[in-house]
Each structure stands twice: as structure tokens, then as C-alpha cells.
Amino acid sequence: MSPSRRAGLRPAGPRKLWCLALTCTLALGLSGASAEDGPFPVWWSPVLELDSLDGIDARLERELWRGATQGMPLYKYEGETRLEVWANSCNEFMALTEAGYHGRGNPGYKTQQINEAFCQAIKMLKRASPARESYLRDFALDEAAIDYLPVMVHITPSCDFLCEHLQANRQRIPLSRAIPDLEVAAIGPDEVEVRTTTLASRLSALARGDMNSDGLEDLLILSRTDARGGTGGWSFVFLLTRGGPGAVLHVLEAQNEYCPNEHCNGTKDDPTVIPDLDSSAPE
């Protein structure tokens, strides 16, 4: 039985599908029924290169990634003076980023964002604990996941669209309802990609566990969005959860705010901007 069938996922209407791997069905290594009793151990992706939860501080202090002894090149300007540095650990990297240092050129900036997201995910694991209850055990990060993923994980460079996405997150409107005619494909273990005519977002599972001390299991994902036909790109970490079986997931918090001066007032915060959930949708 496929993960989508096991999770009880309902179809959201026709959509384009394509397959980039031998299999297009991924289950995040999960099985069992929703609302299963725990405790559920904390899980994290091997891409974080973390050996144990007791080693988080040491992981933040060691080289960014195994074999990358030279670190990540960063720079900033003070007046007309260009200052160049190398970040050799996650702690150095995050401190230099906060101090205004950036990657060299557009490709370097995109790499910086991905490194920052991975380092932030490792740091967030410091507060993770086994969950007492889970409504994520049967969630599969496959093509049907867009019926349950929040629209916020499909990053947009527009602050106007961000306001609509925030509203959709509050209303528990899934990605497939908020953005019609998505193309979607599972591309590897714990990853799915969604595309519009202008953007492509790759969503990767980084960790699971109770990260806000409410007893429920949360899912930490990395969203990497690139412009199709351009050079723009953005990476963010999102913490998702849901409080009932088969419900739409919602964002608890994001790595950072990419529209810090946007308050989403007026018509941007109008519930009519995005259609409300119908009575048959999961609460």
C-alpha cells in the first residue's frame, strides 16, 4: 500500500506530475497510524552530520562540513574597503552573517543561505525532545503532500504574496488549494519538488521531534526555491506541525523573516484574498 493511501490523503484535483527517480513514492521512513502514542525519538537527517544530540555544541564548533577545512568565503564593505573572511564553523558562520557578511556573488549568496539553514537546523535540535503524541507518523513527503503542506513552504520573493501565504497558514489552506496547477514530483528520500511557471521549490525533511515542548511531534524542513529561467534563489527552515489526524500542516516558526517591514495590513490580510477552506477539508 502506498504512503499516500496509508495516510488517507484526499485528491485535490488534476495536477501535472513528473518523476525524477526510480520511485515517486517516499514515506520519510514512517509507518503506523495517526495519533499513535509515543514516546517518539528525535530523528534528524544525515546531511546535518550530527552524530548525537549530546554533540550539538561540538558540531556547531567543528568545520562546517566534513572535508571543508577552508570554510565558506564571506565579505562585506566598510565604506570603500572590502573585508573578506572565511567562516570555518557553524558558530562562526552564523555570527559573521549576523555581522553583515555575505557570500561572494549570487551563487555564493545562495550557498550561504543553504549553509545558514543547515546550521540553524542543527542549533534548533538543541531544544528537541521525544514527542508524546504524533500526527505525523503517516505523513509522506510525496506528490500528494501538497494537499497537506502549508503554502508558506513555497517561498516567494514578493512580500505581497508573503502576506497571502501567512493568511493561508492561519486558515490551514494547503499548498494545492492556494497555488493551482502545481507540478510536483518526489525526487529522493525525504524530498519533494513543486514548480510553478516561475519558481521551483525543493522541500527536504531535516528533523522530527517535539521542538516547542507541547508534546506533539514537529517536522523541520528546508525549503530551497529557485527562479526558473533566472538566477534568484532563497533558502529557509520551517518548523511544521499538526494537531489532528489528516489535518493540513501549519508553520510554527521560520528561520528568519525575509520581509521584516511587512505587517500584512489592509486588503493583504483580507480572508477573501485566498479562498477559505470548504467544509470537507481537514481541520
> Does a structural domain hold residue 56?
yes
Please give the Cα distance from 109 to 85 (Å, whole number): 14
Please give the Cα distance from 90 to 96 (Å, whole number): 10
| Contact yes or no for 275/180 (Cβ under 8 A) | no
Of 25-39, 67-81, 125-139, 159-173, least confident by mean pLDDT is 25-39
Decide which of 127, 142, 170 is a domain's last residue: 127
Please give the Cα distance from 44 to 8 (Å, whole number): 25
Q: Quick one: pLDDT at residue 204?
A: 93
17 and 134 housed in the same domain: yes
112 and 214 housed in the same domain: no
HEC readout, 185-215? EEEECCEEEEECCCEEEEEEEEEEEECCCCC
Residue 35 pLDDT > 90: no
- Enter the pTM of the model: 0.77
> Does a structural domain hold residue 60?
yes
> Does a structural domain hold residue 278?
no
Residues composing the chain: 283
104 and 146 housed in the same domain: no
3-state secondary structure of 80: coil
Sign of CA dihedral 169, 170, 176, 180: negative
Q: Quick one: pLDDT at residue 94?
A: 93
Bond prior to 39 in cis (omega within 30° of 0): yes
Contacts with 197 (C-beta within 8 Å, 6 or more apart), sequence order:
228
Decide which of 69, 93, 127 is a domain's last residue: 127
Highest averaged pLDDT of the listed ranges 17-26, 88-97, 190-199, 266-275: 88-97
97 and 234 housed in the same domain: no
167 and 66 housed in the same domain: no
Highest averaged pLDDT of the listed ranges 98-102, 155-159, 225-229: 98-102
97 and 151 housed in the same domain: no
Decide which of 98, 127, 156 is a domain's last residue: 127
Number of domains in the chain: 2
Q: Indicate the average pLDDT of the chain.
A: 76
Domain carrying residue 121: 46-127
> Does a structural domain hold residue 283?
no
266 and 166 housed in the same domain: yes
Of 2-6, 232-236, 241-245, least confident by mean pLDDT is 2-6
> What are residue 119's DSSP bridge partners?
none
Mean pLDDT value across residues 235-244: 88
Q: Quick one: pLDDT at residue 246?
A: 82
| Contact yes or no for 148/241 (Cβ under 8 A) | no
What crossing angle do the helices spanning 90-98 and 105-124 adopt, rounded to 10°?
120
| Contact yes or no for 109/232 (Cβ under 8 A) | no
208 and 185 housed in the same domain: yes
Please give the Cα distance from 268 to 283 (Å, whole number): 23
Highest averaged pLDDT of the listed ranges 53-62, 99-108, 164-173: 53-62
183-188 and 16-17 strand pairing: parallel
12 and 90 housed in the same domain: no
Please give the Cα distance from 135 to 138 (Å, whole number): 7
Residue 86 pLDDT > 60: yes
Residue 278 pLDDT > 50: no
Burial label for 121, CB within 10 Å (0-12, 13-18, 19+), is buried
Mean pLDDT value across residues 240-253: 86
Please give the Cα distance from 37 to 24 (Å, whole number): 29
% of the chain residues with pLDDT over 70: 73
Copy the grid coordinates of residue 235.
533558502
Please give the Cα distance from 69 to 5 (Å, whole number): 45
> Does a structural domain hold residue 279?
no
CB atoms < 10 A from the CB of 272, how many?
A: 8
> Does a structural domain hold residue 282?
no
3-state secondary structure of 83: strand
123 and 222 housed in the same domain: no
Mean pLDDT value across residues 223-235: 80
With bands split at pLDDT 50, 70 and 90, how would you rate the model's confidence at 82? very high
141 and 249 housed in the same domain: yes
30 and 68 housed in the same domain: no
